[in-house]
Amino acid sequence: MEYELSGHAGLHLWKQTLTNIVLNKGPDLTARQLSVLLHVYLEPKEHTVRGLASTLDVLKPVITRCVDTLCILGLVKRVRDEKDRRSVFIQRTVKGAVFLTDFAELVEKSNEEAKK
């Protein structure tokens, strides 16, 4: 599927998506939290706080706070590396997968509404 996002169309789509998220009464994620969540779910590799901090060019404590919130919401989980007990991976959860599936559907819905 292809989207025409020239001019301000992308901004209108984002505005409509954010409006639908608010109306849907789901978790109110920050842009940083949503970015981390999308990286964990869409990038097929093992994620660490250090790696996510590097990818987003922020300090590790920033990602730690973000992951703390996402864990509390049940959208990701921390799993200790069995090979190196000092390392912790940030992994997907079923609840997070459902959230992003619903989020993707909201984006699709918003795209249809933005065309009207």
- Say if 51 falls within a structural domain: yes
- Say if 94 falls within a structural domain: yes
CATH number of residue 86's parent domain: 1.10.10.10
Please give the residue range of the domain that contains residue 51: 28-102
Taking only the tens place, the pLDDT of each residue in 16-30 is 888 888 888 878 899
- Say if 87 falls within a structural domain: yes
pLDDT of 54 > 60? The answer is: yes
Query: Which ranges of the chain does DSSP label H, i.e. alpha helix?
Result: 9-24, 31-42, 49-56, 60-72, 94-115
- Say if 33 falls within a structural domain: yes
CA torsion through residues 94, 39, 82, 70, sign: negative
What pLDDT, on the 0 to 100 scale, is given for residue 4? 65
pLDDT of 114 > 80? The answer is: no
Report the number of distinct structural domains present in the chain: 1
Q: Summarize the confidence of residues 104-109 as an average pLDDT.
A: 87
What pLDDT, on the 0 to 100 scale, is given for residue 95? 95
- Say if 112 falls within a structural domain: no
- Say if 53 falls within a structural domain: yes
Tokens of 40: 């964990």
- Say if 114 falls within a structural domain: no
